[in-house]
Structure 1
């Protein structure tokens, strides 16, 4: 082969090599683009999954909060369903207590009636106590403005300051909630 032929062959080999490099570069560029595209899609999919996980967790938390609120509401409904009825019973208890105070247990004719009123009162108090109704306001207790309504404040050397000297009308609570405050006289 002559030098000229060799040059032509070398040039052709160089052109083929350059074309091969270009083709390989295009294949590598296409692969890199495809890899970048797939990585971007993977990142989007992961973000979507994280968003769905977050939505699921929030929904589960909301359901749990609704359950908890419903349980509290049901418990309050149970505890305080009797409130209106209990308020209607308080005057009956007051009247039984007044009857006990008026009756004279020493008179033979009245003795049986007084005992009957006392037993009825005791039975009634025991029954309402089973349903969470409790009396508040006992002489000698400390004055509590949340449970007691002060009718008057009287100076008294026999009682400590801010204690109940006399209870005009007992107060009552239903499962810890005030139904009626006790009307009291407070020592000054």
Structure 2
């Protein structure tokens, strides 16, 4: 097919015909040697391959940016949720202390006992735990020592009295246990 031949506008063009039309657009297409003809085709192919590689690299960059964005959003969402739970727990600490005081004086009975049990169950669901018992090994990262008492029968520093229980939210200490400490002489 030459430049003089014209195709109707609605005529479908096959890939081979399209290649001929592209290559034969030059005025002296018939006089071009085959080597020059092949070099033009290979130049067009390499140009298209470079363009495809560039677009592929752009898509890979966009995909990596999206993956990083999604990780960042998920992390921020988890931190925000954790901060909200922590704020509610801090507001409920006086209530939990009152429930613990009522329990230690055997005043936790009837309907109030059911409410206290449900409150503790919901707290545990969100990772809330209370710690600090007499006889525990003293750990300054989770205990706050309010008094020290030397005792002869103690081999390691231990908790001898608990003034206020400590509170953890998952693995994080919200409030250290306030304790009396027995130390070896």
Structure number having the greater helix percentage: 1
Maintained 8 Å contact 2:160/2:181: yes
CA distance in 1, matches of 2:135, 2:109: 29
- Correspondence for 1:130 among 125, 138, 141: 125
Distance 1:42 1:179, change over 3 A: same
Shift of 1:134: 1.0
- Correspondence for 2:109 among 99, 106, 116: 116
In structure 2, runs of 5+ residues without a counterpart are 1-30
CA distance in 1, matches of 2:58, 2:103: 66
CA distance in 2, matches of 1:38, 1:143: 81
In structure 1, runs of 5+ residues without a counterpart are 1-26, 106-113
Q: TM (normalized to structure 1)?
A: 0.61
Q: In structure 1, what is the equivalent of residue 55 of structure 2?
A: 52
CA distance in 1, matches of 2:41, 2:151: 90
Q: TM (normalized to structure 2)?
A: 0.62
- Higher Cα radius of gyration: 1
Q: Which SS does the other structure have where 2:75 is aligned? A: helix
Distance 1:58 1:144, change over 3 A: farther
Q: How does 1:31-42 map to 2 (within 5 A)?
A: 31-42=34-45
Q: Which SS does the other structure have where 2:135 is aligned? A: coil
Q: In structure 2, what is the equivalent of residue 108 of structure 1?
A: none
